Structure formats: C-alpha cells, structure tokens
Chains A and B, each alone.
Chain A
C-alpha cells in the first residue's frame, strides 16, 4: 500500500514525464510551450513535497508567471514553417545519439543512488509544522552565502544592461511624445475662439436643426 505522499509523487512524476515528452514531440510550437508550462508547474508541485515551498512558489512565479508568458508571446508571433523546420531532422543523428546515450548513462548513475552511498545516510528528518523554509533560505543567502549571492546579482544586472545596450538603436527621425509637455498643455495653446457673424442671412435656428 502506497502512502499518500508516495501517491502524490508518482502522480506528479507521471504528469511531468508526459508534459516533458510532449514538449519535444508536439508538432505545434504553441502546444509545446504550453506543455513546458505544465512541466514547470508539476515540478513546482514535486519541490513542494520536498518542503522547499519558497523555491516551488518562486518557480511558478518566475518561470510560469513571467518567463513562459514572454516565451509564448514570441512563439505565437513567429510564423514558423514546421515542414521546413523538420527538414534534415535526422541528419543530426550521428551527433545526437552519443549525446543521448551519455545523458542516459549519467542519469542512471545519479538515479541509482547506491553509487553515492545514498543507502548509508539516513533520510533527512521532516521539519515541524511551524518551520519556515523561506526564512531559513533568506538567512543563509544573506549571511553565509552573501558574497556569492551579491556577485550573482551583479552579473545579472550587467547582463540586463548589456542586453538593453545591444538592442537599443534609436532612430534619429523617430517622433516621440513627451508626457510632461502633454500634461502641462493649456487651452490657450490649442484652441482659439473667434467671433464671427453668420454667413447666411435669414436662416432660423429651427430650420438648421
């Protein structure tokens, strides 16, 4: 008899494997991207069972909520010709096959935990109900690993600045709007009320109306 936690694990794993498989087999790139969203979400569920709720929720918040939205955005806008994309797909086999075999071997080693002495160390003890994973993670990042964390942050900042600098090409003839000027505009700048006599004589208001 499976415990409930085991049932959850296998349930999520099955969905994750299915979604991962569909990412690479779906013919429509939008379907593939949506399956990747499902894979991320399911992976977050699995992390939750590891008591890593901060990482799990951040995975959903960052990857599902922001990164994949923009990804989907791009995939939907591109006019991808699938037949052209699949042309010469099998030509890569001589390179792909060794890589795939290597990957599979590595995964076998990792997943067969006895090579790492997994059977000799005890399973980590479950934390009590009041344990806050977020607080512990924050404490570690800002004390023990503060330099590594700061360096990673600076590298990301440099990457952002570099990406913007590379893509920012300002055209000289671009017309652009200055909102400050728009807000400060007065009626007198745009509108002039002139008084003039009626052109036609003898037409009453009722006939005009």
Chain B
C-alpha cells in the first residue's frame, strides 16, 4: 500500500477514496438485489407459498434475471412528460440513498468519512430523497403519478419530524452527533444498548422508518389497489429499476441506522464475545426481516390514519420522552440513560 502511495503521489487520496466508495456501493447493490429475493421468499413462506424457485438453485439467480430483464426493456417517456425532469426523477431518488452511506460505520475502524456531525448529515441527506418522488410524479404528467407524489411528500415530511425528535433522544443519551461515538456509548453488553432506556423512541424511529421508505403498511404513495403504482406508474425498464434500487437501498440504510443508534451497532450482546462486523450484519438483517414481516402482516393504513399516527401519536410521544430523558439525566439514575 505504501508503494502505491509513493507511486501515485497526489492522486493517491482521490483514487483510494474511490476504491473505498466502490467497496461500499458494490456490496450494497448486491445486498439490494438479495433483499428483493429474501422479500419474495420470506413473504412466500409466510403466505404458505414457495416463492421464486426456477432460476438457479432455489431461485437464487432470480434477482440477476430480473435485473437483466429490466436492463433490456425500453424506457418509454410519455409524450406530455417534462423530459428533463422525468429522467432526473430516478437520479434524485437514488443519489441520496447512496450518499448517506458515506458516514455509516461498519465497525469502529471501517468508516468512509468519520465526520463530527454524522447524524445531522444522514438526516439532511435522507430528507432530500423526497425530491425524486415529487419530481417523478409531477414530470410524468399523469394524475395517478401526481396523486402518489403528493401523498408521498406529505407523508415523508410529517414522519421526518418524529424521526428527527427520536434522534434528539439518541444524541442526548450519547452526547454526540458522531455515529462511531454513539455506538461506543452503548458499550458493555445488551443492557447498555439505547433501545432499553429509549424504548418509545426506538419504536417511533422504527415505525417512522417504515413510513419514510414508503413500505407497507404505509405504502399509500404506491398503493397498487388505489392509484396503480403511484409516482412511478409511467416509468419502465431501468428508470423503474432505479426507483426500486433506491427504495431498497433506503430500507437497508434505515435498518443500519436503527442498528447503530439503538441496537449497539457492531458491539456484541455479551461482553465475553468479541465485537465485530458480523454483529452489525446480523442486526441489520434482523431489522430488514421486520420490514418484510410488517409487509406480510399488516393491511395498508388509510391516508388520514397515517397523518393522525404521525402528528398526534408519534410527535407527542417523542416530545414527552425527550423531557423524561432530560429529567432523568439530572437524577442519580442517569447511568441508565447513557
């Protein structure tokens, strides 16, 4: 490595960063492909079906076949669409979903950018994901797409507030905005993880995460039985696939953030076992399984129920619990809260 460093000189830093970005993005894209496969298999089993089993052993090559199929298909641009924005829509959807991974730590050493305000950065970048949906919905020049975009915009903006407040609790407990420090603050076994003292915030964050990614039971933005496919009804081929990739990349991102902030990240649950990336991966997989489980279990919320849950239930819960955490930190029991 030192040899390469001397050889490349000033070019070393950008090139090495590019390599590191690839080391994150390529496994992420593979993970996205296999989360779609896991989703079809898991929901299949929950509904006593088999799921995909034709392509490859046990259907393991199914996501590759799906990807190839979508690549081959024609991208149709509707005649009344705003062409530039129609193409910009999927790009705006996937760019934040990938950019947020820059600050996600995989272990205490494996992190691309260990920045001080990591948590704020993630919140700011993920809040931009909504533009992909709105721009796509508007540029399609279709009523269904536009309805989906409007629903999605209102939903994402509403749940972002509850999510932000849930994170305020985490940063009060850890007294840091840096994701590595937040995980290190939970060291010392499973009973030190933040999901116990911040249990209401953990639930709010997890459920808001499902709503933020437009997943069932909060999938009114797509709502197949109501508005066909919502904001991406006019998209086909790879343009549609990019929306798909963005949704699943966001799902994995929310699962990773839940893991880092409430479930102790790469820390092992028992002090006698070593910490490591394997714990991180197992916890993320567990949260992703919850996402699939929700989809197989719950019927879709009605729109007014979603708004009520966000504004009248979650936001008051988070505000009350922030006050509780603040109060407890002034008492002798403060070691429970950080």
- Residues of A whose CB lies within 8 Å of any CB of B are 28, 30-31, 34, 37, 53-54, 57-58, 60-61, 64-66, 69-70, 72-73, 76-77, 132-134, 177, 179
Contacts and interface: CB of A to CB of B under 8 A. Distances in A.
A60 B120 CA distance: 10
Interface in B254-304: 304
Given A134-B117, A134-B120, 10 more contacts: A30-B82, A34-B131, A57-B117, A60-B128, A61-B123, A65-B123, A65-B124, A72-B134, A76-B146, A77-B150
A11 B161 CA distance: 33
A19 to B, nearest CB: 14
A57 B121 contact: yes
A65 B134 contact: no
Given A64-B128, A70-B157, A179-B305, A53 B138 contact: no
Per DSSP, chain B at the interface is helix
B127 A64 contact: yes
For chain B, give the interface size range: 20 to 34
A76 B128 contact: no
Nearest to A67: B157
B127 A132 contact: no
Contacts of B120: 53-54, 57-58, 61, 134
Given A30-B138, A57-B124, A134-B177, A179 B117 contact: no
A151 B128 CA distance: 30
- For the residues of A in contact with B, the DSSP-based class is helix
A65 B92 CA distance: 13
Given A61-B123, A66-B157, A66-B160, A76 B117 contact: no
Nearest to A130: B116
A76 B130 CA distance: 15
Given A57-B124, A65-B127, A76 B134 contact: yes
A133 to B, nearest CB: 8
B153 interface: yes
Interface string B104-132: 00000000000111001101110110110
B135 interface: yes
8 contacts: A31-B85, A57-B123, A64-B124, A65-B127, A69-B131, A76-B138, A76-B146, A132-B116
B157 to A, nearest CB: 6
Contacts of A177: 304
B308 interface: yes
Contact of A134 (B116, B130, B135, B156): B116
A67 B111 CA distance: 31
A69 B135 CA distance: 10
Interface string B141-179: 000001001100110110010000000000000000100
